[in-house]
Amino acid sequence: MKRNRKGAARRRRTLRAWDYDHARAAVPYLTSILRSLRELYLEAAFHSREASRLADRPGRPDRHALIAREEALQAAAEARRRFDEALTEMEALDVFCLDPVKGQALIPFVHDNELAWYVLDLFDKEPLRFWRYHTDPLETRRPVLAEPEKAEEGTWLA
């Protein structure tokens, strides 16, 4: 029996490793995308909740309730579609959304020859104040030094 070796090759992805200066320069653009992601995620959640609330009403729904529920479902689907577009735009830069509600994203870089991530935080006064190794728990935050070591630019296989 032959093994499907193409599947493993397709899952392998090369990440662009950012350096600190490029990451700082991209912060205004990335925070703009992250802000859109957050707003669209919350909008989709609101409309989905509204549709659920209308569906869960006791009794038989009238015409107005059916139309309102359908409009809420369509608005939620549209918000999710726009969310997916913004997410694709961000991931094309090899920046990954960690939590859209908290406004957090991860920017890959290489530190001590290991994959690490700058933590971009939309609500922090200094959006690139922390970083973590890939193997660290998600909650780990290490402060970025005032003059960080020059990160090695290039690519990283993930």
Q: Which of 154, 118, 155 is nearest to 136 (CA)?
A: 118
User: Is residue 3 in a domain?
Assistant: no
User: Is residue 105 in a domain?
Assistant: yes
Quickly state the pLDDT bin for 2 (edges 50, 70, 90). low
Tens digits of per-residue pLDDT, 18-34? 999 999 999 999 999 99
Question: Could you give the number of structural domains in the chain?
Answer: 1
Tokens of 93: 């830069």
Owning domain of residue 37: 13-157
Is-contact 118 30, C-beta < 8 A?
A: no
User: Is residue 127 in a domain?
Assistant: yes
Quickly state the pLDDT bin for 15 (edges 50, 70, 90). confident
Calculate mean pLDDT across residues 72-96: 96
Q: Rounded to a whole number, what is the largest CA-CA distance in the chain?
A: 65
User: Is residue 131 in a domain?
Assistant: yes
User: Is residue 1 in a domain?
Assistant: no
User: Is residue 8 in a domain?
Assistant: no
Bridge partner list, 154: 17
**Orientation angle between helical segments 63-92 and 20-55, nearest 10 degrees:** 170
Tens digits of per-residue pLDDT, 119-152? 999 999 999 999 999 999 988 899 987 544 544 5
User: Is residue 153 in a domain?
Assistant: yes
User: Is residue 34 in a domain?
Assistant: yes
Q: Can you give the pTM of this predicted structure?
A: 0.79
103: left (phi over 0), alpha (psi -120 to 50) or beta: left
The whole-chain average pLDDT of the chain stands at 87
